[in-house]
Amino acid sequence: MRGSSGRPPTEHSTTPETAVPSPGEEGAAPPRVQVSSAAEERRRARRSRRYRLDVKWSPYAFVMPFFVFFMAFGLFPLLYTGWASLHRVELTAPTDMEWVGLRNFSRLLEDEFFWNALKNTVTIGLISTVPQLLMALGIAHLLNYRLRGSMFFRVAALTPYATSVAAATLVFVLLFGRDYGMINWALGLVGFDNIDWQNGEWTSQLAVSTIVIWRWTGYNALIYLAAMQAIPKDLYESAALDGASRRQQFIHVTIPSLRPTILFTCVVSTIGATQLFGEPLLFNGGAGATGGADHQFQTLGLYLYEQGWVNLHLGRASAIAWAMFLILLVIGAVNWLLARRLSKSA
C-alpha cells in the first residue's frame, strides 16, 4: 500500500478554493468582483449557518434510530404496562380496562405465591451468581497466562453462552432425571440413593442454578479477561520483584484493578438473576410455569408469565412486572452506594 500512489494528493486539492484572483482580473472589473464577493458572503454565511446547525443537530439524528426504537419497544411498553397494572384487564378482552388503582400492587403484599417466587429468585440468584463470578475470575486468571491454544480456550469458554437456553436446559433435564439421569447414575456409583432433583426445594434450585452457572461463567470470564489484559504489566513485574507469588499477585494486583469490572458484572448478573425465566420454565418439563409441584423453583419471571399468559390476568401480571422493575431499581441504588463507598476507600 505504502507509496503506491506516488503523488501526495493533498496539496493540489485545496488550491482552487484558496486561489487568489490574478492581478489583471482584479483591476479590469472591480464592481463585478464586489457583487460576487457579496454573493460569496451570503453563501458563506449560509454555509456556516448550515454547518452550525449540522454540528448541533446531526448527532441527534444519528442517535435518533435508537431512541425511536427505544420509545416504540422500550418506553411505550413500560408505560403501558404501568397503566395496565392499575386496571383489571384480562387477555380475553384486552381493551376492557377497569380502573382498580393500586389494588394489583397491594394484593401482591399478601400474595404468598409472589413472596415465594421472590424468595426463590433471591436464593437461586445467590447460589448461581456468587459461584459463577468466582469461577469466572479463576478461569479468566488461568486464560490470562501465556498458554498454547489460548484462542481455543477462549472460544470454548464462550460456547455455553452461545448455546440456546432451550437446548441446554433439555439436556440438563435429562442429566438431572430421577430414574435415568446421568448425575444420579454417577452418584449411585458412590453409593447414594436416587435424588429427585426436580421435586426437592434445594435440589431443584441447585439444578436450575447449575444451568445458569454453566451458561454464564464463560461469558463473565471473558469480560474479566479483557479487563485483566488492560492491567499494566509493570505492576506485576514490580510485584514479582518484591517477591509476590502468583497467588499474591492475583489477590493484591489483579483483584483491585478489576474492581470496576467486578462491580459491572455483579450488576449485570443481578439483573439477569432477577429476570431468570427460561431455565426454570424448561426445567419443569410439561407443566409450564408452575415451577414444580410446590412452586419450589418458581421465579418472579415465571410467576409473571403464569399470571399473564396462563391465568390471563394482564393487570396483575403488569403489576408483577413493575414490582420487578422497582426491585431492580432498589438493587441498582444499593450497588451504586456500595460502588461509591468502595471507590472512596480505595
State the residues that interact with another protein by CB under 8 A: 54, 58, 61-62, 64-65, 68-69, 72, 88, 90-95, 111-113, 170, 173-174, 177-180, 196, 199, 285-288, 290, 293-295, 306, 308-313
The Cα angle at residue 346 between residues 216 and 264, in degrees rounded to 5: 20
Return the amino acid letter for 210: T
Residue 328 · residue 271 · CB < 8 Å: yes
Contacts of 331 (CB under 8 A, 6+ apart): 270, 271, 274
Distance between CA atoms of residues 123 and 125, nearest Å: 5
Minimum CB distance to another protein smaller for 75 or for 174: 174
Q: CB of residue 181 vs another protein: minimum separation in angstroms?
A: 9
Distance between CA atoms of residues 111 and 103, nearest Å: 12
Measured in degrees and rounded to the nearest 5, phi and psi for residue 22 equal -70, 150
Task: For the beta carbon of residue 10, count every other beta carbon within 10 angstroms.
Answer: 6
Half-sphere exposure at residue 63, Cβ-oriented, CA atoms within 13 angstroms: 5
Residue 278 · residue 233 · CB < 8 Å: no
Minimum CB distance to another protein smaller for 288 or for 332: 288
Minimum CB distance to another protein smaller for 176 or for 214: 176
Distance between CA atoms of residues 284 and 298, nearest Å: 10
Minimum CB distance to another protein smaller for 160 or for 196: 196
Minimum CB distance to another protein smaller for 217 or for 296: 296
All three cell numbers of 23: 492581478
Buried b (16+ CB within 10 A) or exposed e, 252-266: ebbeeebeebbbbbb
DSSP-assigned letter for residue 313: B
Q: CB of residue 61 vs another protein: minimum separation in angstroms?
A: 5
β-sheet bridge partners, residue 84: none
Q: CB of residue 191 vs another protein: minimum separation in angstroms?
A: 19
Q: CB of residue 337 vs another protein: minimum separation in angstroms?
A: 36
Q: CB of residue 294 vs another protein: minimum separation in angstroms?
A: 6
Distance between CA atoms of residues 240 and 280, nearest Å: 46
Minimum CB distance to another protein smaller for 58 or for 245: 58
**Which residue is associated with the grid cell 451504586?**
336
Minimum CB distance to another protein smaller for 109 or for 151: 109
Contacts of 150 (CB under 8 A, 6+ apart): 143
Minimum CB distance to another protein smaller for 161 or for 309: 309
